[in-house]
Amino acid sequence: MTADRRDVGRAGQSPEKPSAGGFADLGPRLASAAAMVIAALGALYLGGDVFALFWLAAAFAVNWEWQGLIGGEGRAARIAVGGAAVAAATAFGRVFMPGAAALAIVVFALAGAALAGAERRLWAATGVVYAGALAFSVCLLRESPDFGALAIAFLFAVVWGTDIFAYFGGRLIGGPKLWPRVSAGKTWSGTITGVLCGAFLGLVAVYLGAGPQLASWRVFLVGLAAAAFSQVGDLFESSVKRRFGVKDSSQLIPGHGGAMDRLDGFIFASAFAAAVGLLRGAPSVAAGLFFW
């Protein structure tokens, strides 16, 4: 990352284009979104190695984008270290070894920090944790007996619903910005609309997948929290991009930017869901989301 790019972000010039309030970008966004949804749902349906490899690739892309975005020394080595962390997190998530996964992620994060220059050490380590948390949480949830697929479908419905309705709610309703210093286009109206609709769609997914006995108001509250975390994840990534003076994490996905731009909310929501499932001590991590 050059000094010029960093200075642009610090000078207050937004790296994100403010929303024009229209839908000029809707076409490429819809086409790319459809392809990503089909791929994600296909991996979820097939499960096993296909699911793990799909999310291993996604998490590797997140780490690759993050290390490139922050710049600094040893980028190639940091990408390799982050890739090793993601692989370990995926493997340990599949066999329900959260302690081993956490240890591996921390060790590789410290290695990534050691490879970066003094000004990038914390950023480099954070990127490894960020990507590793994605790989571990989705595999841990998906491999849960009985309710693994439902847990991921629930998260898809919550996060995608939040993103879609926040997008349309913000443009159709408008109003005050949520946090203009961090995200130029995000409004209070869009955020509230997205969180409520995302939680409702998550409840619908549970109802369709398991019946009314699991679709309780408590699951709706879990959906609300997951939707809120997804918005926090969106703001977190926006703040990182603003700090380093870039608009998109990469150009991997037409109309959407990079993997980080599409997965920022899902990373936070899936990590939240995995933490809830682990802390509740239910028969499985996924079951901890639905049985109260």
Type of residue at 172: L
pLDDT value for 255 = 63
Say yes or no to pLDDT of 204 above 80.
Answer: yes
* Pair of tokens at residue 225: 């929290």
Partners of 257 in the β-ladder: 253
Under 8 Å between Cβ of 131 and 87: no
106-135 per-position pLDDT tens digit: 999 999 999 998 999 999 999 999 999 999
Under 8 Å between Cβ of 187 and 238: no
The domains of the chain are located at 21-290
Partners of 253 in the β-ladder: 257
Under 8 Å between Cβ of 140 and 274: yes
Mean pLDDT, rounded, for 189-206: 97
* Pair of tokens at residue 172: 């159709």
134-154 per-position pLDDT tens digit: 999 999 999 999 999 999 999
Alpha-carbon span 292 to 273, nearest angstrom: 14
Alpha-carbon span 68 to 61, nearest angstrom: 11
46-100 per-position pLDDT tens digit: 999 999 999 999 999 999 999 999 999 999 999 999 999 999 999 999 999 999 9
pLDDT value for 24 = 57
Task: Establish how many alpha carbons lie within 13 A of residue 188's alpha carbon, considering only the half-sphere containing its beta carbon.
Answer: 3
Partners of 187 in the β-ladder: 177
For the chain, the three-class secondary structure string (H helix, E strand, C coil) is CCHHHHHHHHCCCCCCCCCCCCCCCHHHHHHHHHHHHHHHHHHHHHCHHHHHHHHHHHHHHHHHHHHHHHCCCCHHHHHHHHHHHHHHHHHHHHCCCHHHHHHHHHHHHHHHHHHCCHHHHHHHHHHHHHHHHHHHHHHHHHCCCCCHHHHHHHHHHHHHHHHHHHHHHHHHHCCCECCCCCCCCCEHHHHHHHHHHHHHHHHHHHHHHHCCCCCCHHHHHHHHHHHHHHHHHHHHHHHHHHHHCCCCCCCCECCCECHHHHHHHHHHHHHHHHHHHHHHCCCCCCHHHHCC
Q: Which of 187, 157, 154, 153 is nearest to 169 (CA)?
A: 187
Give the gyration radius of the chain's Cα atoms. 19
237-257 per-position pLDDT tens digit: 999 999 998 888 888 876 668
Neighbouring CB atoms inside 10 A of 277's CB total 23
* Pair of tokens at residue 257: 């930017």
Neighbouring CB atoms inside 10 A of 113's CB total 20
